[in-house]
Amino acid sequence: MTNINALLKPTGNDERTIAILGGGPAGTSTALSFLQSLATQSPENEPARRYHVHLFDCPRSSNIRVGETIPPAATPVLRQLGVQDIVEAGDIHLDCPGSISLWNSEKPGHNDFLLDIVGRGYHLNRERFDAQLLAKACTAGVTYHNGWRLTGVNDVQGHKHLDFSVQKKNKSTIKADFVVDATGKAAAFSRRLNVCRNVFDDVIFLCTVIDIPEDCKILPHTLVESVSEGWWYAARLPDNKMIVTFCTDQESIKNHHWHTPARWFGLLQETKWLGKKLSLVLSTLSTDSLHIVTHSAPSSLLSAVCGENWLAVGDAASSYDPITSAGITKALQHGYQAGKALATRVIDGKQNALMAYQNRVFDDFGLYARVRNELYGSEKRFSNSPFWLRRLGK
């Protein structure tokens, strides 16, 4: 076993290590916010020199990442984090003018982002977006460790000793003064502290990414259509690709096998509106060429999102149904708040700021739950369908 504590930057008695677990938007935004806030709050930047941020990222899956679009509501926090330029510069990400949906109506409805004074919406190249945020964090002073998977947690004399599997071959242990759990729905750190995860609902996303033929024109909007067994989502992506996703639940998949390419494709072709909008793209497909990836999207909340020398952020703390289109925005906003709270905590040594952060996460989840229920409850055409009844707890 290798102990990397000697390799970590802090060497003096007064120097401290912040370990952030997870390299997605929640982890990187927490790191950026913490370093910004620490420099602002601490006189003559003294505490800022004592604290060193290390970000540990487990091996990335090659699977499709759900969450490719951010609404204008993400603009303020991108600006606060000083990273707004990553979505505006170049042609890495695409403008999203809004959404068009066939929901509780036989006529499509429009949600136009172009009229939003807050900012613009974007279809993201998600892999590049995450990499851009990480690059910003590293430029700000974060040390990045790739290929580190958490395997154990121990409390030793007020510190968290974290055990890792490194690059699937070696083992290492580090000593951290504070830990940020940004490991997504797995909540790899919080779970090892036996913090309860409350799951209120769970939908399943069946996704595929499709190449768009060069001569094919696709609307730049997010496209949504509800059906009796769930709802469809399609959005254009950078590099002339499109993601098409069916949202349903485990019970419906068990009964109808929607996860198989033939059943998935057949259901898409039966849609009243979306299939027609995608007809030119779909005409190039066959069930043999479809690769359907399954993602779980629970509505869940930890019983506590902070404690002695730790906090959870992003999906590790609370996860949302993508029907609200709030996942990435929530990760950035909560990361920004978590970083500020952590900076206050290391300066004054009190839990007040962390508890205020926890209250923010809890309050936001309550608001999310109400919006989610309103959205699912607003679709009356399928009110007797088991899928829609289950979303409302009936």
Asked if residue 321 lies in contact with residue 372, where contact means CB atoms within 8 angstroms, the answer is yes
With beta carbons less than 8 A apart as the criterion, state whether 330 and 364 touch.
yes
In this structure, is residue 254 part of a structural domain? no
Q: What does the mean pLDDT of the chain come to?
A: 91
Average pLDDT for residues 321-345, to the nearest whole number? 96
**Per-residue pLDDT tens over the stretch 255-265:** 999 999 999 99
Q: What is the mean pLDDT of residues 226-231?
A: 98
Q: Which of 146-155, 160-169, 187-196, 338-347 has the lowest mean pLDDT?
A: 160-169
Confidence at residue 47, expressed as pLDDT on a 0 to 100 scale? 58
Give the model's confidence band at 15: pLDDT under 50 very low, under 70 low, under 90 confident, else very high.
confident
Helix (H) or strand (E) holding 184: none
**Alpha carbons 272 and 267: distance in angstroms, whole number:** 10
Determine the Cα–Cα distance for residues 146 and 23; give it in Å rounded to an integer.
9
Least confident segment among 8-22, 147-161, 195-209, 219-233: 8-22
Give yes or no for a contact between 222 and 122, defined as CB atoms under 8 angstroms apart: no
CATH number of domain containing 155: 3.50.50.60
Burial annotation 57-89 (CB, 10 A radius, 16+ → b, else e):
bbeeeeebbbbbbbbbbbbbbbebbebbebbee
Angstrom distance (rounded) from CA 32 to CA 38: 10
In a domain, 258, yes or no: no
- 3-class state of residue 253 by DSSP: helix
More confident residue, 4 or 363: 363
> Which segments of 239-325 does DSSP mark as H helices, in order?
250-256, 261-269, 274-277, 279-282
Element (H, E) at 349: none
pLDDT at 44: 64
**At 260, phi and psi to the nearest 5?**
-80, 140
Is 97 in a helix, a strand, or coil? Answer: coil
Number of domains in the chain: 1
What's the confidence (pLDDT) of residue 3? 44
Of 184, 165, 181, 185, nearest to 173 by C-alpha is: 165
In a domain, 247, yes or no: no
Q: What is the pLDDT of residues 16-47, one digit of tens each?
A: 999 999 999 999 999 999 999 998 877 565 65
Q: Is 215 inside a domain boundary?
A: no
Distance CA 117, CA 77 (A): 15
Once rounded to an integer, what is the mean pLDDT over residues 235-239?
Answer: 90
- What pTM value is reported for the model? 0.93
359 against 10, higher pLDDT: 359
Greater confidence, 283 or 358?
358
Q: Among 31-40, 42-51, 126-135, 222-231, which stretch is predicted with the lowest mean pLDDT?
A: 42-51
Structural domain span for residue 188: 15-65+123-199+299-375
Structure tokens at 240: 């002339």
- Domain assignment present for residue 250? The answer is no
